[in-house]
Amino acid sequence: MSRVRIESFSVSLDGFGAGPDQSLEAPMGVGTEGLHAWAMATRTFRQMFGSDGGSTGVDDEFAQRGFRNVGAWILGRNMFGPVRGPWPDDSWRGWWGEEPPYHVPVYVLTHHPRPPLAMDGGTTFHFVTDGLAAALHAARDAAGDQDVRIGGGVATIRDALRRGLADEMHVAFSPVLLGRGENLFHDLDLPALGYEVTGHVPTAAATHVVFNRRGT
């Protein structure tokens, strides 16, 4: 059965999934250099960006599982790029070059229409202007029997959790403190929303915690 998953989402020990002052130079915000260090050291992520080597232990196993059986993605607009407001043109084509790492349809949440953007390797970005529920409906149709992965950012994941739309979430707690930015857990009562911890594994680079929504 198709599920909605949040995978490999890195947060600081004080709960921040993005830092302040996001920009082209600091897409995840200022001070977040160590937030994703666990992932970028894995073989899975190094191969994704054309490099050899990388770790093959528990961190890599979590990185790998995030791509298994995924038939569509949902991203908040900030995860696609730094452009704010109406699209000035179609020149911004994402952070990843001409062959993004998704290889399936990706539904980008935005308030401003834009035509679909087909990229090399099977990725097509669809820009959805009528909210998360509409994006999830389209993503489920595209994914068929496969799962839908919500890639972030923080606001999109919080919205999915608050509505009980995510069946499973893997959070990697990185050993860094940000102090400010976008906090994933602020004012979210996860037990009341039906979520419980079903697994946790520490490594030298992160502590991996898996949450599941009861009854899924």
Average pLDDT, the chain: 94
CATH code assigned at 136: 3.40.430.10
- List, for residues 53-70, the tens digit of each pLDDT value: 998 999 999 999 999 999
Q: With respect to residue 89, please indicate whether it lies within any of the assigned structural domains.
A: no
Encode burial over 135-170: b for 16+ CB neighbours within 10 A, e otherwise. Answer: bbebbbebbeebbbbbbbbbbbbbbbbeeebbbbbb
Q: According to the model, what pLDDT value does residue 31 have?
A: 81
Q: With respect to residue 26, please indicate whether it lies within any of the assigned structural domains.
A: no
Q: With respect to residue 170, please indicate whether it lies within any of the assigned structural domains.
A: yes
Q: With respect to residue 93, please indicate whether it lies within any of the assigned structural domains.
A: no
Q: With respect to residue 112, please indicate whether it lies within any of the assigned structural domains.
A: yes
What are the strands, taking DSSP E only, across 3-123? 4-11, 16-18, 70-76, 105-109, 117-118
Please determine, for residue 29, whether its predicted confidence score (pLDDT) is greater than 80: no
| Number of domains present in the structure of the chain | 1
Reference 44, options 29, 68, 60; nearest CA is 60
Residue written as tokens 């820009």?
127
**Amino acid (one-letter) located at 14:** D
Host domain of residue 198: 4-18+33-83+99-213
Q: With respect to residue 94, please indicate whether it lies within any of the assigned structural domains.
A: no
Predicted confidence band of residue 28 (pLDDT cuts 50, 70, 90): confident
Q: What does the block give as tokens for 69?
A: 């059986």
Q: With respect to residue 205, please indicate whether it lies within any of the assigned structural domains.
A: yes
- List, for residues 119-152, the tens digit of each pLDDT value: 999 999 999 999 999 999 999 999 999 999 999 9
CA angle, residues 82, 96, 148, in degrees to nearest 5: 90
CB atoms within 10 A of CB 14: 14
pTM above 0.75, yes or no: yes
Q: With respect to residue 199, please indicate whether it lies within any of the assigned structural domains.
A: yes
Query: Percent of the chain at pLDDT above 90?
Result: 83
Q: According to the model, what pLDDT value does residue 83 have?
A: 87
